[in-house]
A = this chain, B = another copy of it.
Amino acid sequence: MGNNGSSQKAGSETREPGAGNASTGDAIDLLITNCVILPVPGTAQLISHGYVAIAGSRIVGVGPMAQCPQGGIRTVVDGQGQLAMPGLVNGHCHAPMTLFRGLADDLDLVTWLHQHIFPAESALVSPEMVYWCSRLAVAEMLLSGTTTVADGYFFEEEVARACVEVGLRCVAGQAVIDFPAPGAPDPTRNIEVAEAFIERWLDRDPLVTPAVFAHAPYTCANTTLQRAKALASRYRVPLFIHAAETRSEQTLIAEPRGRTPIAHLDALGILDRDTVCVHCVWADVQDLELLRISGSAVISCPQSNAKLASGRAPLPLMRDHGIRVGLGTDGAASNNSLDLFREMGFAARLHKVNPGRPAELPAPAVLAMATHQGAEALGLPAETGRLVAGAPADLILVSLQQPHLQPMHGANLLVYSGSGADVRTVIINGRMVVEDRALLTMDLAETCARVRRLARSTVSLANPG
């Protein structure tokens, strides 16, 4: 995925050799001082009193305060009492589904999707709904420390617009599905719609990587899947697909075809390094081998999978296989939270629950998945999700002053005790979008009011007449 839209775009910002070292005298646009630093989540390295220097959209220096650059600095942020770390990478979301948050809880995926979500979507999804509900999702993600989201929905144009306006980095996938859908009423033209979306967004904004989101093996015919993959390959953008999410999908695909959903995708030629399989709850050992050999990545959404009673993905086994694995929240209709701190805490505890498996998915592994490993799974430019010279300047400051973060014996604290509400400051692509918990780039009250107005329709839908 080295040549996708995002990294091409970054080409214009390529630094001179050595420019990664702040001591060479680069002009520094933003300098964060006096903070604890977790440069590479998942490792033991912790700088107890350090700085992060940013020039343009890149990190140009990270180190202890003793080596902090002096002079030529545009803005200084005092990070005293805070921890700087890479922003979190949400590997899977359907941002506009904030509208359906809590609309239909405590139901299995099939009932939830076919009896509640699909009808609500066919009645209510419009470009306006997608735009405003995505803005709400973006606000929620930013305020809980997410700096990149991989999203997939209808009218994805509006999701991308919301992300760009508010300042969230995104991999935005236009949905492809084989029945009449919002924005693509004629399913025979769904690939055209996706292509038009890619054309519009390729190389247009440094925050946006366009992508294709093929809904699932059970909602897309074989030819659709192959055409979607051919489209993604032609433009060198990622293909996302829900796969092996539920037991019923396993049966639905396996019975007529004699192979699992993952094996089915492999047989169709869909799996390669630019394909991201989402969920994979029911992936068996043969499936994991196929994923490993093809180089495909996996995004796991443990809270959504638990709430919909889909099951628990074999994350530790996936990691043992060397598969690139990231963490996602899924949409707010099934989670119902977009807070990746909460997702980290859930994932780390869930995988330990079996008697005798306390070391399963240890906290450092979860931190890595939610940052640089998630970025690798999405094919983002190298170093995304790390605070190192040359990385995109996507980072967050987490307050260490709250009682639930005392005392600090190490970075595990962020997984087991941290919360999205601890995030004070968010910087994406070198731009400060959240400062001391204030969202600088949007009118939150207006967005909330718009979504509440739209939500009145979901209520009348649930209680007709």
Residues of chain A touching chain B, judged by Cβ–Cβ distance below 8 Å, are 98-99, 101-103, 105-109, 111-112, 136-137, 139-140, 143-144, 246-247, 303, 305-312, 332, 335-339, 342, 345-346, 348-350, 352-360, 362-363, 401-404, 406-410, 412-413, 416-417, 419-422, 444, 447-448, 451-452, 454-455, 458-459
Cα distance A107–B363 in the bound complex, in angstroms? 11
Q: Provided the pairs A105-B363, A419-B421, A459-B409 are in contact, do residues A309 and B356 lie with their beta carbons within 8 angstroms?
A: yes
Using CB atoms, name the residue of chain B closest to A418. B337
Cα distance A254–B413 in the bound complex, in angstroms? 36
Give, as a whole number of angstroms, the nearest-CB distance from A346 to chain B. 6
> When the two chains form their complex, are residues B358 and A403 in contact, meaning their CB atoms are under 8 A apart?
no
Cα distance A310–B357 in the bound complex, in angstroms? 9
Cα distance A448–B399 in the bound complex, in angstroms? 13
Cα distance A339–B417 in the bound complex, in angstroms? 9
Q: Which of B99, B357, B406, B448 contacts A452 (CB 8 A)?
A: B406
Q: Which residues of B contact A335 (CB under 8 A)?
A: 416
Q: Which residues of B contact A458 (CB under 8 A)?
A: 407, 409
Cα distance A372–B347 in the bound complex, in angstroms? 29
Q: Which of B102, B308, B345 contacts A409 (CB 8 A)?
A: B102
> When the two chains form their complex, are residues A357 and B102 in contact, meaning their CB atoms are under 8 A apart?
no
> When the two chains form their complex, are residues A409 and B355 in contact, meaning their CB atoms are under 8 A apart?
no
Q: Which residues of B contact A355 (CB under 8 A)?
A: 246-247, 309-311
> When the two chains form their complex, are residues A419 and B416 in contact, meaning their CB atoms are under 8 A apart?
no
Q: Which of B105, B310, B409 contacts A103 (CB 8 A)?
A: B409
> When the two chains form their complex, are residues B358 and A309 in contact, meaning their CB atoms are under 8 A apart?
yes
> When the two chains form their complex, are residues B339 and A342 in contact, meaning their CB atoms are under 8 A apart?
no
A/B interface sample: 5 pairs, CB < 8 A: A305-B353, A309-B360, A311-B355, A312-B353, A421-B421
Using CB atoms, name the residue of chain B closest to A143. B403
Q: Provided the pairs A403-B444, A403-B448 are in contact, do residues A358 and B417 lie with their beta carbons within 8 angstroms?
A: no
Q: Which residues of B contact A407 (CB under 8 A)?
A: 98-99, 101-102, 451-452, 454-455, 458
> When the two chains form their complex, are residues A342 and B408 in contact, meaning their CB atoms are under 8 A apart?
no
Cα distance A459–B338 in the bound complex, in angstroms? 35
> When the two chains form their complex, are residues A419 and B108 in contact, meaning their CB atoms are under 8 A apart?
no
Cα distance A460–B448 in the bound complex, in angstroms? 49
> When the two chains form their complex, are residues A311 and B105 in contact, meaning their CB atoms are under 8 A apart?
no
Give, as a whole number of angstroms, the nearest-CB distance from A226 to chain B. 30
> When the two chains form their complex, are residues B419 and A339 in contact, meaning their CB atoms are under 8 A apart?
yes
Using CB atoms, name the residue of chain B closest to A360. B309
Q: Which residues of B contact A413 (CB under 8 A)?
A: 101-102, 336
> When the two chains form their complex, are residues A350 and B353 in contact, meaning their CB atoms are under 8 A apart?
yes
> When the two chains form their complex, are residues A417 and B101 in contact, meaning their CB atoms are under 8 A apart?
yes
Q: Which residues of B contact A362 (CB under 8 A)?
A: 105-106
Q: Which residues of B contact A312 (CB under 8 A)?
A: 353
Cα distance A409–B332 in the bound complex, in angstroms? 12
Give, as a whole number of angstroms, the nearest-CB distance from A141 to chain B. 9
Cα distance A143–B421 in the bound complex, in angstroms? 12
Q: Which residues of B contact A402 (CB under 8 A)?
A: 140, 143
> When the two chains form their complex, are residues B352 and A349 in contact, meaning their CB atoms are under 8 A apart?
no
Using CB atoms, name the residue of chain B closest to A334. B416
Interface centre among A98, A346, A355, A360 (most CB of B within 10 A): A355
Using CB atoms, name the residue of chain B closest to A407. B455
Using CB atoms, name the residue of chain B closest to A281. B355
Give, as a whole number of angstroms, the nearest-CB distance from A442 to chain B. 10
Cα distance A406–B406 in the bound complex, in angstroms? 30
> When the two chains form their complex, are residues B416 and A354 in contact, meaning their CB atoms are under 8 A apart?
no
Q: Which of B143, B336, B345, B359 contacts A417 (CB 8 A)?
A: B336
> When the two chains form their complex, are residues B350 and A350 in contact, meaning their CB atoms are under 8 A apart?
yes
Cα distance A420–B417 in the bound complex, in angstroms? 11
Give, as a whole number of angstroms, the nearest-CB distance from A232 to chain B. 31
Using CB atoms, name the residue of chain B closest to A282. B355
Give, as a whole number of angstroms, the nearest-CB distance from A227 to chain B. 32
Give, as a whole number of angstroms, the nearest-CB distance from A398 to chain B. 13
Give, as a whole number of angstroms, the nearest-CB distance from A365 to chain B. 10
> When the two chains form their complex, are residues A416 and B139 in contact, meaning their CB atoms are under 8 A apart?
no
Cα distance A354–B124 in the bound complex, in angstroms? 32
Give, as a whole number of angstroms, the nearest-CB distance from A244 to chain B. 12
